[in-house]
Structure 1
Amino acid sequence: MELSHDDIIAATRNWLEKAVIGLNLCPFAKSVYVKDQVRIVISDAKDPATLLEHLMAELRLLADSEPEEVDTTLLVHPYVLQRFLDFNDFLEIADAALADMGLEGTLQVADFHPKFQFSGTTINDVSNNTNRSPFPTLHLIRESSIERAVEAFPDAATIYERNIALMQEMGRDGWEALNVGTPKSK
């Protein structure tokens, strides 16, 4: 049996609150989250073509929305692109869609996946947890928001290294204790 949208959103919020914000993996996330400017959308897509349609609709909605209303969008798609390499390949399609829509330089797509793996690491390398989410997720971000965040956090380039060091310090047991993985279906 599939998880409900409420279950998927709850798991995504749990991950955001405990890992992304709680561990400060993204120092920019808390301010937009507490202002309720993070849109979480569940795609029931079962194939990449349908996901692309949903992605393009969300890109357009974000581009047309005021940042004070919707600053960023998480497009969670639990039923497609379960294999990380397929998901990773889809990112090229997402970038092409941005360009085709004339949104390159306005929006960008970041990625989170339950099986995320940095190049040069093993699947079980704890550093991969910095980009692991309960479900495959495309993060749609305004370029202007990134620019403001980088101005406020001048050492933004060091976030990546700090996050990896934190994961290594926490270890697998520490990460698993957060309980931010994919919930079991009912």
Structure 2
Amino acid sequence: MKHTLIIENTRAWLEHFIIAENLCPFAHKEFARETIRYAVLESDDENEIYDQIVSELSYLDKHKDVQTTLLIWPELDTFEVFLSFVGMAEMMIRSHGLEAAYQLAHFHPQYVFSGVAIDAAENYTNRSPYPILHILRVEEMAKALERYKNPEMIPENNIARMNKIGSAELEAKLRSWQGKSDIKTKP
């Protein structure tokens, strides 16, 4: 799938789901200001992925105007494999002493929270059209949280919102943002 289509689908998901449903109350500002970087990574090779993450962190260090990056990995369609790469990225950030500068969030078409049923609506808070590693600037996130009333309620509010919409409608929406992708959202 062409990078342009993958990025367009990801932007549509971000705008019409994450922002529209207010799942991340901080996303709208950066989306409107166009300070989100989108990068498509084609490899599932551990060494190449490591190099790409290092490269992206270096890019963010040099480009302070970019607030956050969505690393999109259409090749990592298995949730468990994706989680192993997320773990590698987290260890890499710690081993490079960057945990004070960057933090990670992650999304996947098959995302399932521990202890939650596979088909539970609340999983859609972290389901995305493609596997995505979200690199955030810690300092900017701290500033955003200071300005937001009751940030600890965000996850609970999101779960309630997803349960109100329901799994069937959420699944249909997610599929609409996958374009021609053959990634299955259900394991």
TM-score above 0.5, yes or no: yes
What pairs with 1:117-132 in structure 2 (closer than 5 Å)?
Answer: 117-132=112-127
Q: Are residue 109 (structure 1) and residue 96 (structure 2) matched?
A: no
1:163 partner amino acid? N
Match of 1:78 in 2: 74
1:18 alignment partner, one of 8, 16, 19: 16
RMSD of aligned Cα (Å): 1.6
Cα distance, 1:177 vs structure 2: 4.7
What pairs with 1:19-34 in structure 2 (closer than 5 Å)?
Answer: 19-34=17-32
Cα distance, 1:181 vs structure 2: 4.1
Tell me, yes or no, if the aligned pair for 1:112 and 1:132 is still in contact at 8 Å.
yes
- SS of 1:82 mapped into structure 2: coil
2:2 partner amino acid? S
Q: What is the percent sequence identity of the aligned residues?
A: 36
Tell me, yes or no, if the aligned pair for 1:126 and 1:172 is still in contact at 8 Å.
yes
What pairs with 1:43-58 in structure 2 (closer than 5 Å)?
Answer: 43-58=41-56
In structure 2, the CA distance between the partners of 1:113 and 1:185, relative to structure 1 (3 Å rule), is: closer
- SS of 1:62 mapped into structure 2: helix
1:34 partner amino acid? A
Cα distance, 1:185 vs structure 2: 4.5
CA distance in structure 2 between the aligned counterparts of 1:12 and 1:140, rounded to whole angstroms: 15
What number of residue pairs does the alignment pair up? Answer: 181
Tell me, yes or no, if the aligned pair for 2:10 and 2:177 is still in contact at 8 Å.
no
- SS of 2:166 mapped into structure 1: helix
Cα distance, 1:176 vs structure 2: 3.6
Cα distance, 1:157 vs structure 2: 1.0
TM (norm. structure 2) is 0.91
Ranges in structure 2 where 5+ consecutive residues have no aligned partner? 183-187
Tell me, yes or no, if the aligned pair for 1:114 and 1:181 is still in contact at 8 Å.
no
Ranges in structure 1 where 5+ consecutive residues have no aligned partner? none
CA distance in structure 2 between the aligned counterparts of 1:85 and 1:177, rounded to whole angstroms: 23
